[in-house]
Amino acid sequence: MAPENAPPGRREVLLRLLRAGGLGAGAAGLAFWLRSRSRYPEEPAAPYLKRSFTVPSDPGVPEMAIVQGEDPRRLLRRAIEELGGIRRFISRGDVVLIKPNVSWDRTPEQAANTNPEVVAEMARLCFEGGAKTVIVTDVSINEPRSCYQRSGVADAAGREGARVLLPEERKFKRVDLGGEVLREWPVFEPFLNADKMINLPIAKHHSLTKVTLGLKNWYGILGGQRQRLHQRIHESLADLGDFMRPTLTVIDAYRVLVRGGPGGGNFEDVALKKTLIAGTDPVALDACAAKAYWDLDAESLLYLELASRRGMGTPHFEKLRTRAVSLQ
């Protein structure tokens, strides 16, 4: 059942908090609730898989948590606590795949890849929740080994015991994604074999789609000529989001690439927001970050409308039960 319309003003309050990059000293501990296709070359038919990793809804906890402060690891720990704790999402013996953005040969300060400390802390938490194996992987755009090393993700995640997997051509499997536009395509096999899927995108500007957030991050499960998908980019994003429904999404907005995306490189294009946005509704999280950091309404992002129509979530983020916390 859709929640009641949120009272006027709550959306604006939430956006002010996000744009400020901090909840402010006077708001420490503040808590509030907001009511809430491209056909691949002809080959034998590919198997059809539907990948949903979601956990049951819990009306007693927030659907979205916004946490702000200095320490990325602490921000993530608190966000997961607010959403019901790591054992809500991870069960003993799980094989967990963490999907950060590790697309670019950039340093963390250039904000083109997910913050390595956020990736590492998520791996640690998954083991704490009982995971048997934690895999960290992404199909990079630049040379993968350089991306993983320079981003800091390989070292940080490895120190926490995660298996950091670089993409190898022999490990892609052609799959029928079952999309309206995006159908048969090679998918990196670890994404087909996990028990739980955690999406860890970084908030960035994108020259084609305006923003790259949670749903756009799923491009990193694909091999092949991904640029072909740009002809119908919004439909492709909705197809990918429908194929990979994550257990949890955490948008890294510690540093936000507000211009020059998605590859970045110019420090002047980076805004320090010291924020993580976490939750179980990937559409709402994308809509929230797009509005907060680029003043983009969901109506201007066709992929969000398409995703909403397919039941992946709501673009009306202000209607979610939301917890906002300052650790400053």
Per-residue pLDDT of the chain (328 residues; tens, 9 = 90+): 444 445 557 788 888 888 887 655 444 444 444 444 444 444 455 676 667 899 999 999 999 999 999 999 999 999 999 999 999 999 999 999 999 999 999 999 999 999 999 999 999 999 999 999 999 999 999 999 999 999 999 999 999 999 999 999 999 999 999 999 888 999 999 999 999 999 999 999 999 999 999 999 999 999 988 878 888 999 999 999 999 999 999 999 999 999 999 999 999 999 999 999 999 999 999 999 999 999 999 999 999 999 999 999 999 999 999 999 999 7
Contact 89, 196 (CB under 8 A): yes
The pLDDT value recorded for residue 141 is 96
- Which contiguous run of DSSP H or E holds residue 285? helix 282-294
The pLDDT value recorded for residue 51 is 75
- Which residues lie below 8 Å from residue 24, measured CB to CB, with a gap of 6+? 326, 328
pTM (two decimals): 0.89
The pLDDT value recorded for residue 35 is 40
Pairing of strands 248-257, 270-279: antiparallel
Phi, psi dihedrals of residue 323, rounded to the nearest 5°: -115, 125
The pLDDT value recorded for residue 33 is 43
- Could you give the CA distance from residue 157 to residue 177 in angstroms, rounded to a whole number? 29
Which tens digits make up the pLDDT trace of 204-217?
999 999 999 999 99
Number of other CB atoms surrounding residue 308 within 10 Å: 18
Residue 262: is the preceding peptide bond cis (ω within 30°)? yes
Number of other CB atoms surrounding residue 268 within 10 Å: 8
Cα torsion 285, 288, 290, 292 to 10°: value is -140
Domain definitions of the chain by residue range = 10-20+27-326
Pairing of strands 202-206, 248-257: parallel
Residue 286, CB-side half-sphere exposure with 13 Å CA sphere = 34
Tokens encoding 163: 């298996």
CATH class (in words) of the domain with range 10-20+27-326? alpha beta
Contact 101, 154 (CB under 8 A): no
